[in-house]
């Protein structure tokens, strides 16, 4: 998505415009509102932008475009528009709400709290504003407390405190069971059907899967090399985001994972969709069963802050426990950041870098066992996005960067690669080929959040020909549990 642009007025006000211009701008705004109501956010942004071009003095136009950007996860653009609305009219209270929402979406709670505080001061009797201020303040205080109890960055290891022997399997449990503590094909087949029926895996088995998969991931480098033999097939999937029934549809269309049918899932397995626990346990189960034929990259949503806001932490606590949510965080910290296929295709969740000299060897040596920093190579691997124009630009998300075709070309040449595969962005067809085919996006969650109307896609590679082949598909029905059902109530009220 292109950055928002509008003509900056040297001075003046809306009263300086002709009545005809103001009427036309208002008509464009009304059309944009209609698109927004029908969840056509891209078209809404287009029409809000046209209204702003005609009348850049109306704070509501920026405010409306800001929330449209929020819905398309362009949090950086949403921040910019909210701030612009407040420049135009400092009394425009919705601008503070919008800016707070965008900052919360990228985990900047202390900054968001300042805007909520402003709203409360301006509207002391606004119950909704008070509730949002109180909730945001709780998050800030909780984070401060968590930082205070950490000593010299020594991490409390939840995995070491778990006693599987103390967990009994109740007589009335009739679900899938590990065999001698091991995942089997039979277990995986039963598990997938069990989850389809909205039943819960016994906590002892869930903990066992997490502890065992943690051991596998901690032995891997941050960049994993994958070798595919000629005549075989390899599948790359993008974001799943807790859409379990669509994940099952991928396996129906493309076959269950096996040594003969290997997969790479390229991050963002959880959050937003309300069947995230089912998705991640199935994916981890396949990793345990065929560790050399099933691969998983970390996404920007395999992080503590995102999980607290977008639903995964709440879902784990509801279905299991707070202790298990902490264990998931430990496992996510160990997920590899990138995979390189046949030394020619580099796969990462987000994208490329603010520096031109990043090498595969540097990526391989990243100390990833932590929450991602706010900048640098690790952050950019998880958060960056491609852009049409050459060069680099600030991120539309407010985190990492946007990178142009020239940046991609230089990176490929430096590292002797053919192209990159990344995910991270909704695409109408489920995929997009950009930068002269050198930067490919794949997104595997169709009708994202039950509202975007996009198709899902996956990529198949058949060596020695490493050109991507795309399979697209529509969403499938799922039980009546809405996306974001477990999300933080403060964020859900904005989104």
State the catalytic residues: 301
Asked if residue 225 lies in contact with residue 409, where contact means CB atoms within 8 angstroms, the answer is: no
Distances (CA, A) of 380 to 204, 300, 301, 414, 426: 36, 10, 13, 18, 18
Q: 233: buried, middle or exposed (CB in 10 Å: 19+, 13-18, 0-12)?
A: middle
Q: How many CB atoms lie within 10 A of CB 131?
A: 14
Q: How many CB atoms lie within 10 A of CB 253?
A: 11
Three-state SS for 294?
Answer: strand
Look at strands 294-296 and 401-403 and give their pairing.
unpaired
238 token code pair: 């993008």
Q: What is the number of residues in the chain? A: 495
Three-state SS for 317?
Answer: helix
Asked if residue 29 lies in contact with residue 10, where contact means CB atoms within 8 angstroms, the answer is: no
- The DSSP 8-state label assigned to residue 283 in this structure reads H
Asked if residue 97 lies in contact with residue 115, where contact means CB atoms within 8 angstroms, the answer is: yes
Distance CA 310, CA 322 (A): 16
Bridge partners (DSSP) listed for residue 372: none
Distances (CA, A) of 194 to 14, 33, 173, 174, 210: 61, 43, 12, 10, 18
| Measured CA angle at 240 (ends 457, 209), to 5 deg | 130
Asked if residue 494 lies in contact with residue 101, where contact means CB atoms within 8 angstroms, the answer is: yes
| Measured CA angle at 381 (ends 380, 385), to 5 deg | 70
Distances (CA, A) of 425 to 30, 267, 284, 443, 477: 28, 11, 23, 7, 22
Distance CA 150, CA 122 (A): 37
Distance CA 117, CA 113 (A): 6
């Amino acid at each position: 998505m292109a950055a928002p642009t509008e003509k900056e007025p040297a001075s003046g006000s809306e009263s300086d415009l002709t009545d005809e211009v103001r009427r036309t701008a208002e008509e464009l705004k009304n059309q944009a509102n209609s698109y927004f109501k029908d969840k056509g956010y891209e078209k809404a942004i287009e029409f809000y932008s046209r209204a702003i071009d005609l009348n850049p003095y109306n704070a509501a136009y920026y405010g409306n475009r800001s929330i449209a950007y929020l819905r398309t996860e362009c949090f950086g653009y949403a921040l910019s528009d909210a701030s612009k609305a407040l420049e135009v009219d400092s009394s425009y209270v919705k601008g503070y709400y919008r800016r707070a929402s965008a900052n919360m979406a990228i985990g900047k709670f202390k900054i968001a709290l300042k805007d909520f505080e402003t709203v409360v001061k301006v509207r002391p009797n606004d119950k909704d504003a008070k509730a949002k201020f109180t909730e945001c303040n709780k998050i800030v205080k909780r984070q401060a407390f968590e930082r205070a109890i950490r000593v010299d960055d020594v991490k409390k290891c939840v995995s070491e405190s778990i006693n599987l022997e103390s967990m009994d399997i109740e007589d009335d449990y009739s679900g899938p069971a590990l065999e001698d503590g091991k995942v089997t094909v039979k277990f995986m087949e039963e598990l997938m059907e069990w989850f389809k029926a909205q039943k819960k895996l016994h906590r002892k088995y869930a903990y066992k899967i997490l502890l065992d998969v943690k051991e596998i991931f901690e032995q891997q480098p941050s960049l994993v090399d994958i070798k595919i033999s000629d005549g075989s097939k390899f599948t790359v999937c993008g974001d799943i985001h807790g859409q379990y029934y669509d994940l099952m549809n991928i396996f129906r269309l493309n076959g269950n994972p096996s040594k003969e049918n290997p997969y790479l899932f390229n991050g963002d397995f959880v959050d937003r969709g309300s069947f995230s626990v089912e998705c991640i346990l199935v994916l981890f189960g396949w990793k345990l069963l065929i560790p050399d034929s099933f691969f998983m990259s970390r996404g920007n949503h395999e992080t503590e802050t995102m999980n607290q806001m977008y639903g995964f932490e709440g879902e784990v606590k509801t279905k299991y426990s707070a202790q298990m949510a902490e264990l998931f965080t430990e496992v996510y910290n160990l997920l590899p950041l990138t995979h390189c296929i046949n030394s020619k295709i580099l796969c990462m969740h987000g994208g490329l870098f603010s520096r031109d000299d990043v090498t595969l060897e540097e990526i391989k040596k990243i100390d990833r066992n932590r929450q991602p920093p706010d900048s640098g190579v690790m952050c950019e691997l998880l958060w960056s996005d491609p852009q049409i124009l050459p060069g680099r630009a600030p991120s539309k998300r407010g985190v990492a960067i946007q990178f142009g075709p020239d940046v991609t070309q230089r990176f490929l040449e430096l590292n002797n690669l053919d192209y990159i595969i990344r995910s991270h962005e909704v695409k109408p067809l489920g995929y997009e080929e950009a930068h002269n085919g050198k930067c490919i996006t794949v997104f595997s969650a169709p009708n994202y959040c039950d509202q975007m109307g996009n198709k899902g896609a996956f990529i198949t590679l058949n060596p020695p020909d490493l050109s991507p082949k795309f399979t697209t598909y529509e969403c499938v029905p799922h039980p009546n549990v809405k996306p974001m059902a477990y999300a933080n109530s403060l964020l859900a009220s904005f989104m």
